[in-house]
Amino acid sequence: MALFYQHNINEHTKLGIWRIEEPEAFYLERVPLKKGVSHPYKRLQHLAGRFLLPTLYADFPLEEILVADTRKPVTDFESAKTSNLELFGRYFNHMLQKGIYLAPSQFETLFVSTAITEELAEEYLAANLASLKELKAYL
């Protein structure tokens, strides 16, 4: 797996961008498949992520990775509508209460700009982590 960009934002936050080049069998020999992920691309991404995360964080809790129950990737509006609208609404409001304004629909894209400073990125990531922890009770 080619990790072609890595940035340590702070002691708790790292950014890694990688290219998945290995076949699924490579990952299955090294990491367990948490549950049946039927779509081949989604399964490969899941396995590759579980392989890479301990590279970035030696003590990453892999057992806490959840797999969406959609059984297929989101490729269009129809498949996007299968997402949990209520949970996104809660996430949106949690982020808004922390001063982070997201697109008000999970059907919209979050754009990243070169104008975002490291401080703003850290603020966003901290708010995101706090919101996800708060929302864990709804899963």
Count the domains in the chain: 2
- What's the confidence (pLDDT) of residue 111? 65
Please give the chain's pLDDT, 139 residues, in tens. 567 677 777 777 777 777 788 899 999 998 877 666 777 877 887 888 888 888 777 887 777 766 655 556 667 778 777 778 888 889 989 999 998 888 777 777 666 666 777 788 888 888 988 998 899 887 7
Q: In what helix (H) or strand (E) does residue 127 lie, and over which residues does it extend?
A: helix 118-135
Give the CATH number for residue 123. Answer: 3.90.1150.10
- Residue 79 domain flag: no
Q: What was the pLDDT predicted at 93?
A: 92
Tokens representing 24 are 């699924």
**Could you give the residue ranges of the DSSP H alpha helices within 1-117?**
24-28, 40-56, 77-80, 85-97
Pairwise CA distance, residues 119 & 122, whole Å: 5
Indicate the pTM of the whole model: 0.51
In a domain, 74, yes or no: no
Same domain, 60 and 88: no
Return the structure tokens found at 124: 């966003």
Residues 54 and 93 reside in one and the same domain: no
Q: Is 13 a member of any domain?
A: yes
Q: Which domain holds residue 10?
A: 2-64
> Is residue 54, in this structure, part of any structural domain at all?
yes
